[in-house]
A and B are shown apart, each in its own frame.
Chain A
């Protein structure tokens, strides 16, 4: 099959890359363009995030949701102080440990942060 052998030969010839002494410079230019593109993208995302945040913030303030949220936080704080702290204090009292309500808040916040890290790690692994 002379035709096929010629076609294989042609493919081989195409596959032989011509020498380019500026390969490093070319790669550098591609990476520079890549970085410029990502910088622009990050800037646009940042600006959109700030705008979205501002709009959302004003919307929340406009609907009076902030007041409701403050009241809800106050109620939950009261509940936590009265029930959870009381229960923990009761449970830990025999061991002679003192439970500060603020420590419960702090522990809860740390647990949320740890869960966030765990979730981020899980997403990265997947």
Chain B
């Protein structure tokens, strides 16, 4: 029990160092801490709950394999989120949805649903984006990839990614609270 308490209070970098020596319990604590964020990012990218869990698990397994490469320049969460985002993009492309990235292929966004007037937050706002816009925006603002890195991950031209990001941002800006007091603010319709 004392060991678990020690892990719970340990810093991420210490857990990473322990994980690099093969300490499963330390790595498990990292998964417990950051699993929700990684799964959340994948869902925001457009994955359904089951796919998000699958890809997140794969990402953590890959992270354990590569943990010695993590130098601590950034946060562990960012590092593992990037791995997960790239894995999801690979799956997304494999499922032949990559053609959606072509310029002018903006399909009509899924219907935001009845919550559109009642409750608008980031998750709802993202649903108003096309799949390509959603993936591009999530890669750049959720996983912290640069436009060039996102283009490389998507195997798409840089200009295409930039235009998807720009269109996505424009839509999000108009959907999220226009007065800039926080996107998570709940707006209640009349």
Complex-state Cα separation, A37 to B176, whole angstroms:
44
Interface size on B, residues (CB 8 A): 37
Interface size on A, residues (CB 8 A): 28
Q: Is the CB of B36 within 8 A of A18?
A: yes
Q: Is the CB of A30 within 8 A of B31?
A: yes
Which chain A residue shows the least CB distance to B22? A38
Q: Is the CB of A34 within 8 A of B44?
A: no
Interface residues of A in 54-108 (CB under 8 A from B): none
Cβ–Cβ < 8 Å partners of A18 in chain B: 36, 40, 43, 123
Q: Closest CB-CB distance, B104 to chain A, in whole Å?
A: 24
Q: Which of B24, B37, B53, B137 is within 8 Å of A31, CB to CB?
A: B24
| With A20-B40, A37-B61 as contacts: A6 and B169 at CB distance below 8 Å | yes
Interface residues of A in 1-34 (CB under 8 A from B): 2-3, 5-7, 9-11, 13-20, 23-24, 26-31, 33-34
Cβ–Cβ < 8 Å partners of A13 in chain B: 122, 183-184
What 5 pairs between A and B have smallest CB-CB spacing? A20-B36, A17-B37, A14-B142, A27-B32, A27-B31
- Report B's interface with A, CB cutoff 8 A: 24, 27-29, 31-37, 39-41, 43-44, 53, 56-57, 60-61, 64, 122-123, 137-138, 141-142, 144, 169, 172-173, 176, 180, 182-184
- Report A's interface with B, CB cutoff 8 A: 2-3, 5-7, 9-11, 13-20, 23-24, 26-31, 33-35, 37
